[in-house]
A = this chain, B = another copy of it.
Amino acid sequence: MTDFARTRALFHMPEGVFYLDGNSLGPLPKSAVQRVQDMMTAQWGEQLIRGWNASGWMMQPRKLGDRIGRLIGAPQGTVVVGDTLSIKVYQALASALDLNPSRRVVLSDSGNFPSDLYMAQGLLGSLDKGYELKVVEPEAVEASIDESVAVLMITEVDYRTGRLHDMKKLTAKAHAAGVITVWDLAHSAGALAVDLEGTKADFAVGCTYKYLNGGPGAPAFIYVAPKHTDKVRPALSGWLGHESPFAFDLDYRSGAGIDRMRVGTPAVIAMAALDAAMDAWEGVSMADVRKQSIALADLFIREVETRCPELTLASPRNGAERGSQVSFRHPEGYAIMQALIARGVIGDFRAPDAIRFGFTPLYIGEQEVLGAVGVLEDVMTNRRWDEPQYRKKALVT
């Protein structure tokens, strides 16, 4: 059984805060501060350019990929870290389209994170070959998979409601219809037990600043199923994906395996923080995390529905159909969230009307859940949200 008291002690949590927004930005792993400082002073400061070899900076994207791979059911050597999630979506989609050249439909859903859809729009617009981005309702995805579809591009967990797609079922249906799959694990990696190998997903991408606690803007990752890797022609063919980057050839030749999904120079400082964050997962069972996150979310739903009847559950009630977050709807959702944050209960708001709470057993337990519900009840019962300062929209919501 995973020792959550141990993992909880690894994170810094400010006084007086109930943090239910690890699904947006994970908290600071205490060891990351020293890890980054050491990287900066002992490596960058003392080794200078020699750090690329002496401290293994060049291999970090692969090492971190393997550490993440363990949490998402990916074999060693199939995941690499780098860039941002949007870039990784672009890479995966471009490669997936290449593997299915005779078809012209990219199927996605309206529950996908908008940036995934935007990146697809940018790519398909550039390709200008009659591609169609078909965006259906999440419930209609399964029925929309047919032999016209080149790529199914889906985020497993809906960023607003936490609704969970059935990766195994959709991937199987896609494969039966000759469709390549691209799964976005932004709200899955570190939240639930993803099994990329078992579900036979073709491509997967994700970010590391949510449940993996890598810090704001931490690098993303990409997985390519081994059967595809050597067939993939990288659209973003940067030098670090080259077979021999330091030969400085004029012509691109893809590197072996997952290395070809590397693009530019790796973000070494950011990766030092992520490496420290990944330590927290040592000895952690994703099955335990999943079980506990469902228990916490179920408790939250039960308490909120009892004590705050004005709020409407926006997430699936059945924990098995949900990721690790729960949303409630209210026309004044934005102001309610601002009032909560002012009182130390940190969740976030997703337009148009959802207040969203994430449950992250690594550092959140029943005490925080019940504490947060107490504040929410006060905010709702006493209309604490009904003050002008809570309606002023911030840049980031």
Interface residues of A (CB under 8 A from B): 12, 14, 17, 19, 21, 24-25, 27-28, 32-33, 36-37, 40-41, 44-46, 48-53, 57-59, 83-87, 90, 94, 110, 113-115, 117-119, 121-123, 125-129, 135, 160, 207, 209, 215-220, 233-242, 246-252, 263-271, 273, 341, 346, 348, 350-351, 394-397
Q: How many Å from the CB of A82 to the closest CB on chain B?
A: 8
Between A and B, 9 residue pairs with Cβ closer than 8 Å are: A25-B48, A40-B215, A44-B215, A48-B346, A114-B239, A119-B237, A119-B238, A160-B248, A269-B270
Which residues of B are found within 8 Å of A59, using beta-carbon distances? 395
Q: How many Å from the CB of A158 to the closest CB on chain B?
A: 12
Question: Given A58-B396, A126-B235, A248-B351, are A216 and B265 also a contact pair (CB < 8 Å)?
Answer: yes
Within 8 Å by CB of A248, from B14, B119, B350, lies: B350
Interface pair B27/A216, CB less than 8 Å apart? no
Within 8 Å by CB of A33, from B41, B238, B395, lies: B41
Indicate the member of A52, A122, A395 with the most B CB atoms within 10 Å: A122
A126 vs B217: C-alpha distance in the bound complex, in angstroms? 28
Which residues of B are found within 8 Å of A266, using beta-carbon distances? 216-217
Copies per assembly = 2
Interface pair A83/B264, CB less than 8 Å apart? yes
Which residues of B are found within 8 Å of A125, using beta-carbon distances? 233, 235, 237
A248 vs B28: C-alpha distance in the bound complex, in angstroms? 27
Interface pair B36/A87, CB less than 8 Å apart? no
Interface pair A216/B268, CB less than 8 Å apart? yes
Q: How many Å from the CB of A137 to the closest CB on chain B?
A: 11
A78 vs B175: C-alpha distance in the bound complex, in angstroms? 46
Which residues of B are found within 8 Å of A160, using beta-carbon distances? 248
Interface pair B237/A118, CB less than 8 Å apart? yes
Which residues of B are found within 8 Å of A127, using beta-carbon distances? 126-128
Within 8 Å by CB of A45, from B12, B113, B248, B264, lies: B12
Which residues of B are found within 8 Å of A57, using beta-carbon distances? 216-217
Q: How many Å from the CB of A240 to the closest CB on chain B?
A: 8
A350 vs B87: C-alpha distance in the bound complex, in angstroms? 29
Interface pair A235/B45, CB less than 8 Å apart? no
Closest Cβ neighbor of A394 among chain B residues: B53
Question: Given A115-B264, A236-B86, are A33 and B27 also a contact pair (CB < 8 Å)?
Answer: no
Q: How many Å from the CB of A189 to the closest CB on chain B?
A: 15
Indicate the member of A48, A121, A235, A263 with the most B CB atoms within 10 Å: A48
Interface pair B49/A24, CB less than 8 Å apart? yes
Q: How many Å from the CB of A271 to the closest CB on chain B?
A: 8
Which residues of B are found within 8 Å of A86, using beta-carbon distances? 236, 238-239, 263-264
Closest Cβ neighbor of A110 among chain B residues: B250
Which residues of B are found within 8 Å of A268, using beta-carbon distances? 215-217
Within 8 Å by CB of A239, from B25, B115, B126, B220, lies: B115
Q: How many Å from the CB of A127 to the closest CB on chain B?
A: 7
Which residues of B are found within 8 Å of A238, using beta-carbon distances? 84, 86-87, 115, 118-119
Q: How many Å from the CB of A88 to the closest CB on chain B?
A: 9
Q: How many Å from the CB of A187 to the closest CB on chain B?
A: 14
A45 vs B115: C-alpha distance in the bound complex, in angstroms? 27
